[in-house]
Amino acid sequence: MTASKFNWYWLLVVILLAIIVVGGVVVGLRYRPGQPLEISIPPGQEMSGTIYIEGAVSNPGFYPFSYDDSLETLLQAAGANKTSVNLSGLKLYIPEMGGKVEPQKIDINRADVWLLKALPGIGDTLAQRIVDYRLQNGLFLNIRQLLKVDGIGTTTYERIKDLITVAE
């Protein structure tokens, strides 16, 4: 390589570096950062409502819940036995706004006296008779068998028939 070609080579490299540096300075001076991006998160809505629990629980039905409730709390309220509950098959049903919610049915084969007393027309005495009948004669096969309990007539049965069930 001759000296003149060597000088032209270095001159070209210096000119390219100067163009890059000047271009970078110009771009840097013209850069105007935009307004800072503001992210706002709306406050969380407090969730509350009712949830229907059935299956391996002693009292299936609708239970009120709030944001702070845990699944364990809700299952305990429904009378779930921790050893017999399989949580791998949970099903969550969310009714539409304004949808009709069916009343909670009481399983007359599992309900205690205090729960049976919640039925219209069933007081302490009749609730105890239902439990006693179940203990003496076995589980009810259908809800009509409730008419065999002393003190429960057609009128009382008609009043509660849509509120009771028997376990399968």
How many helices (H) and strands (E) would you count in the chain?
A: 5, 4
Question: Cα dist. 65→28, 73, 97 in Å?
Answer: 58, 9, 16
Q: For residue 127, give both structure tokens.
A: 């609730």
CATH number of the domain located at residue range(s) 106-165 in this protein: 1.10.150.320
Give the residue with greater pLDDT, 53 vs 41: 53
Where are the domain boundaries for CATH 1.10.150.320 in the chain? 106-165
At 124-162, the pLDDT tens digits run 999 999 999 999 999 999 999 999 999 999 999 999 998
CA-closest candidate to residue 81, choices 114, 115, 55: 55
Give the residue with greater pLDDT, 26 vs 100: 26
The mean-pLDDT minimum among 26-40, 72-86, 113-127, 153-167 falls in 26-40
* Model pTM score: 0.45
CA 59 to chain centre: 18
**What is the band of 36 on the pLDDT scale with cuts at 50, 70, 90?**
low
Write the DSSP symbol of residue 139. Answer: S
> Is a pLDDT exceeding 80 seen at residue 80?
no
Which residues, including other chains, have CB under 8 Å from residue 121's CB and lie 6 or more apart?
155, 156, 159, 160
**What is the band of 67 on the pLDDT scale with cuts at 50, 70, 90?**
confident
> Is a pLDDT exceeding 70 seen at residue 48?
yes
